[in-house]
Structure 1
């Protein structure tokens, strides 16, 4: 063939090999070089273009890798026949502005998922991070156990026994990067025709995780999930937050706990998924025992996270599987890799082993109790017309406002004042008529000394007069 003629710009920011590669590739695509044509040798082309053979070799190697040319040992490189459609070049559009979702900064954010940033033990945590990223931990560069590191599972098992009355073996624990990761795994352990029941209102991500969209909503009242309603359905799995129902804050009563466990025991295919997401923070009475600790028939799959107790960004959750489901889990997911980095798991395990997790929890309980009490005191003292419910535990309360405005209007008014607040309607699986507009009032992320002012500012935005 005639020597390839390409304009290579040595002052161009694009490397010479890339210019050459693009030139030959485009010539092949546009049929300027016929199929079967032998390309010049690296030496001859280098001399002709006055560039190094290495540049030619890199360009040819890329063309070879992408299938534009083929190599015949001791003969040379030849143009390959290519299908037209896959190789049609996209027109490069420049200066395309992709709209970015604006992240509004709020003066006060009452989101229920916020934690107290100022109280996190950064210096102590940094020590554990530095200690684990060391040559002595080089084995952590390799893949770990699919269920999670045994060191962390040991610590979680000890913690559950001491704090939640749950006896389980580390082998029953599976660690994952969040409820959103673990729940689909749980659901795959059951038959395809299984039917899931969910609390209404409830955790808003669950319906999206449950892709079959055949979940049955079960109403919640001041005693938690209405089990009588569940018993009238054909559901065989129920997802529940019994210790602090999300978002209402209701605690599943002792009578309904017994009723729910009895419901599960009546059929071999019935199970309860217990999400104990923020059981650590309770302000009235004794801690509520976990359903799992009361279960005598291995019908409860326990789940929890470190989202509220440490930080949402840690992305460490875990579940405890009954032994018979554990065997099925190992058959189905033995090829899975752990979704939480091994280094992160060991940092957390060491933090727990040395007693710092328990100390941190005790400290945060006191901080959140003070915030909780300040929130309740401010509302009850200055705004007695509003109603607070779900205030026994957790890091938010439900606030009902007797005002002649819609939920959307009130949300927008708060937004205009630099305040973010979440309506309870965000968590409905099916519509519920509320007597008054109702919102989740999270206090975890607002500093203690600003809670009173945050409440006053919110009420001013809504036109609610302060009680003198």
Structure 2
């Protein structure tokens, strides 16, 4: 390597330590590709002589770069620049899932599909459970707990899943972790590296990004108004499919009974086939009876069931879980024998006690009413614009899909809305194949908008798109 590349302006009497300046300089050079992937860095001694600083300074800087995955070390050979796209904290991907992206700008009205209603949270009850726990009687909770999560919480989750989703499982099959982003990589490690995964398209870009970060082969499978197209799945070499059957994200389609049977039959055809069922917002369903989880219909132990308390309690709680079929439990125990749970034990017990005493189901019933009211208000207001706007995926969840008839493109309409201080999210952001749709479609999340603001919010959006209200014919009495 040409040493001049590493000739950084080091301020010897600056406020920032030299090792920090050096670390930042090399990191910047790697990110901006000034130093190529696979390039060998100079030895600590050579660089110390060249920059006229101590070897210790360089050692600390290299150690930090190594810890963060910017460089790798080959024993007795030296340090080399790592392939950087695998790093989770560098996100060149602009289609990243809205929830996890830092807000570029704050909007006066935000139809973010990930937002929840924060006004109806039962703080007093929650505070009581927290206060009761932080006490001498809970001393043992200061120590590390069981790796799969607290038995008390796993028992409550197993009971809840049986009553609400028809899922039959024992607490031993449940693993608790801090969010899908932490649990999905664990599930991926239960399968060999050459396993091919199928994902819904459009779908969660975050999930897609996680699969590619772990260098897993991914095939996008089309979704229509009955959910994922199983015939398309059958034509691929995929062994594991990740689906959101109760309320497909982002289209809102519900997997039809026929497709459910087809999916389970597909999985039953080979010992290596499995379905990952993400049941992220099934609690909120507005039309018809609740649909049982796919896991509840499965007779062959082929479904890994995942869910979270993000929508039902709060995103900041960071509690999610998966239920493993008994066959995969042994693999899990082998692979994760060193693992300890990532959710604080106190938080797990607050949730467990809150569930045990019936407050969770009370809270869910209350939130169902809140979201149904918002949902009904939204659908009623949108009727006024039905000459140019059609709505789908409204049976469940906290967002609907808008199909807009308009001379402008999705991007232009989004820009118009953003300029008017309105956050709105085009469906093409969720496509995994990068193809632009000919249709103009947007996700419209209503969870975070107070019910009394829904009418004005929709009117503002339609105004900035120049979509007029339908004028109803006057009664001729």
Q: What's the secondary structure of 2:267's corresponding residue? A: helix
Q: How does 1:18-417 map to 2 (within 5 A)?
A: 84-87=54-57, 104-210=105-211, 211=213, 212-417=215-420
The alpha-carbon distance between structure 1 residues 366 and 416, as it changes in their structure 2 partners (threshold 3 A), is same
Q: Tell me the residue number matched to 2:433.
A: 430
Q: 1:207, 1:213 within 8 Å by CA — same for their partners in 2?
A: no
- The CA distance in 1 between the partners of 2:189 and 2:216, in whole Å, is 15
Q: Tell me the residue number matched to 2:447.
A: 444
Q: Tell me the residue number matched to 2:49.
A: none
- The CA distance in 2 between the partners of 1:264 and 1:436, in whole Å, is 33
Structure 1 unaligned residues grouped into runs of 5+: 1-21, 23-82, 92-100
Q: 2:195, 2:217 within 8 Å by CA — same for their partners in 1?
A: no
The alpha-carbon distance between structure 1 residues 213 and 403, as it changes in their structure 2 partners (threshold 3 A), is farther
Q: 2:194, 2:217 within 8 Å by CA — same for their partners in 1?
A: no
Cα drift, residue 88 of structure 1: 5.4
CA RMSD of aligned residues (A): 1.8
Cα drift, residue 407 of structure 1: 1.5
The alpha-carbon distance between structure 1 residues 258 and 347, as it changes in their structure 2 partners (threshold 3 A), is same
Q: 1:371, 1:451 within 8 Å by CA — same for their partners in 2?
A: yes
Cα drift, residue 104 of structure 1: 2.6
Q: 2:287, 2:396 within 8 Å by CA — same for their partners in 1?
A: yes
Q: What's the secondary structure of 2:432's corresponding residue? A: coil
Q: What's the secondary structure of 1:302's corresponding residue? A: strand
Query: 1:204-227 CA distances to partner (integer Å, 9 max, x unpaired)?
Result: 111111121520000000000000
Q: What's the secondary structure of 2:338's corresponding residue? A: coil
Query: 1:301-356 CA distances to partner (integer Å, 9 max, x unpaired)?
Result: 00000011111111100000011211111111121110111010000000000100
Q: 2:196, 2:216 within 8 Å by CA — same for their partners in 1?
A: no
- The CA distance in 2 between the partners of 1:459 and 1:241, in whole Å, is 30
Cα drift, residue 425 of structure 1: 1.1
Q: 1:403, 1:436 within 8 Å by CA — same for their partners in 2?
A: no
- The CA distance in 2 between the partners of 1:324 and 1:428, in whole Å, is 33
Cα drift, residue 433 of structure 1: 4.8
Across the two proteins, how many residue pairs are aligned to each other?
378
Q: 1:196, 1:216 within 8 Å by CA — same for their partners in 2?
A: yes
Structure 2 unaligned residues grouped into runs of 5+: 1-16, 18-52, 62-101, 472-477
- The CA distance in 1 between the partners of 2:191 and 2:57, in whole Å, is 44
- The CA distance in 1 between the partners of 2:448 and 2:398, in whole Å, is 9
Cα drift, residue 85 of structure 1: 2.5
- The CA distance in 1 between the partners of 2:428 and 2:182, in whole Å, is 25
Q: What's the secondary structure of 2:349's corresponding residue? A: helix
Q: 2:384, 2:469 within 8 Å by CA — same for their partners in 1?
A: no
Q: 1:249, 1:389 within 8 Å by CA — same for their partners in 2?
A: yes
Q: 1:116, 1:445 within 8 Å by CA — same for their partners in 2?
A: yes
Q: 1:383, 1:465 within 8 Å by CA — same for their partners in 2?
A: no
TM-score by length of 1: 0.78
- The CA distance in 2 between the partners of 1:363 and 1:107, in whole Å, is 26
Q: What's the secondary structure of 1:414's corresponding residue? A: helix
Larger Rg: 1
- The CA distance in 2 between the partners of 1:225 and 1:330, in whole Å, is 32
- The CA distance in 1 between the partners of 2:289 and 2:436, in whole Å, is 33
TM-score by length of 2: 0.77
Cα drift, residue 434 of structure 1: 3.2
Q: 2:156, 2:356 within 8 Å by CA — same for their partners in 1?
A: yes
- The CA distance in 1 between the partners of 2:239 and 2:105, in whole Å, is 42
- The CA distance in 2 between the partners of 1:228 and 1:170, in whole Å, is 35
Q: Tell me the residue number matched to 1:77.
A: none
